[in-house]
């Protein structure tokens, strides 16, 4: 998917006069509508994405009450299913699409240049949408919230919690471009701290066991970014890493619950809620998504898994909060 093709489609639409582009697409925005239909495409079911969807729906329900109807669809981790879901939303002419995770967003942008799209759980929109020199606004029918916590601080956690670590493995799914972005940045930050990094990738769930086993035999610690495949298979990763005595720093709380010792985690509920408020501004107040700044969680929190840290003899500073549940 190339952003240039999408922009060209928008320009073509404007030139030939087949539609009048507004914040909500070809049909314009009706502030006095009795009801709105919002299609939600979520890539996969796990704690983080579920929380984002919950927050998104809560915000719109608080603002619109029974005037909003949600068509929630889960793609079960398959990008091709995201495409099918988006095509259904476009055929139904929903008022807005919420895309939860990168593959859902990419499918939505490929599927429509007219229906407004609000995304969430996206690490880096420039990477996800193939926009060079991304400045914070997409310029097309897309806006949303990001789930990226400061990567330099996450690298520092390796040094702080695992002071004897000389080499840290970075594991992610090769099909997730935002995971590669995080891996590249975290590797550079680890190098600044005198820690070597080694990247391990897998193509699908079938490869995870072999890749994690190999990594655990070669490094002192592991880092896992906000990767949906890893989140979906966190327990499998833990079943290999914990017995091997390899501590894991995670990019978000959900992964940490499954296999990590600690995470600098944003609130997925909050970024979903804020995405819902952005959707309201588009639907009711006529905001243009392409001119709305991507929003970030401004207050990520240091979290740790009590039992796992105790088992691996990890000393945790006082500014870390215990993960509940």
User: What CA–CA distances, in Å, run from 101 to 108, 120, 163?
Assistant: 11, 6, 33
- List pLDDT tens digits, range 235-286: 999 999 999 999 999 999 999 999 999 999 899 999 999 999 999 999 999 9
Evaluate if residue 15 carries a pLDDT over 50: no
Average pLDDT for residues 126-131, to the nearest whole number? 94
**Tokens 């945790």 belong to residue:** 316
- Element housing 257 (H / E): helix 253-259
Find, among 125, 76, 78, the residue nearest to 105 by Cα.
125
Tokens of 264: 């600098």
* Domains detected in the chain: 3-147+268-291 (3.40.50.2300), 151-265+301-322 (3.40.50.2300)
Q: Are 71 and 38 in contact (CB under 8 A)?
A: yes
For 28, other C-beta atoms within 10 Å of its C-beta total: 12
Q: What are phi and psi of 30, to 5 degrees?
A: -110, 105
| pTM of the entire predicted model | 0.81
Q: Are 130 and 2 in contact (CB under 8 A)?
A: yes
- List pLDDT tens digits, range 178-217: 999 999 999 999 999 999 999 999 998 899 999 999 999 9
Name every residue whose Cβ is closer than 8 Å to that of residue 35 and which is 6 or more positions away in sequence. Answer: 66, 67, 68, 69
């Amino acid at each position: 998917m190339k952003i240039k093709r999408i922009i060209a489609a928008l320009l073509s639409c404007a030139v030939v006069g087949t539609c009048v582009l507004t914040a909500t697409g070809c049909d314009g925005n009706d502030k006095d509508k009795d009801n709105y239909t919002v299609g939600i495409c979520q890539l996969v079911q796990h704690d983080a994405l579920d929380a984002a969807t919950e927050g998104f729906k809560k915000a719109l329900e608080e603002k619109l009450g029974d005037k909003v109807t949600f068509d929630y669809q889960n793609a079960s981790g398959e990008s091709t299913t995201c495409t099918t879901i988006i095509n259904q939303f476009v055929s139904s002419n929903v008022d807005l699409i919420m895309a939860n995770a990168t593959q859902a967003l990419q499918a939505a942008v490929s599927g429509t240049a007219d229906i407004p799209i609000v995304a969430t759980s996206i690490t880096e929109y420039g990477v996800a949408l193939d926009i060079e020199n991304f400045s914070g606004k997409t310029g097309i029918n897309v806006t949303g919230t990001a789930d990226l916590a400061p990567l330099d601080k996450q690298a520092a956690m390796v040094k702080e919690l695992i002071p004897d670590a000389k080499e840290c493995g970075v594991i992610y799914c090769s099909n997730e471009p935002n995971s590669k972005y995080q891996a590249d940045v975290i590797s550079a930050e680890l190098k600044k701290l005198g820690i070597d990094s080694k990247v391990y990738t897998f193509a699908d769930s079938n490869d995870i066991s072999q890749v994690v086993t190999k990594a655990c035999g070669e490094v002192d610690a592991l880092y896992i970014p906000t990767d949906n495949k890893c989140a979906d298979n966190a327990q499998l990763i833990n079943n290999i890493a914990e017995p091997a005595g390899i501590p894991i720093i995670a990019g978000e709380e959900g992964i940490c619950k499954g296999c990590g010792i600690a995470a600098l985690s944003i609130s997925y509920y909050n970024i979903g809620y804020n995405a819902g408020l952005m959707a309201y501004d588009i639907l009711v107040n006529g905001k243009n998504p392409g001119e709305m700044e991507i929003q970030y969680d401004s207050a990520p929190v240091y979290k740790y898994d009590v039992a796992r840290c105790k088992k691996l003899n990890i000393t945790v500073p006082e500014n870390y909060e215990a993960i509940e549940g």
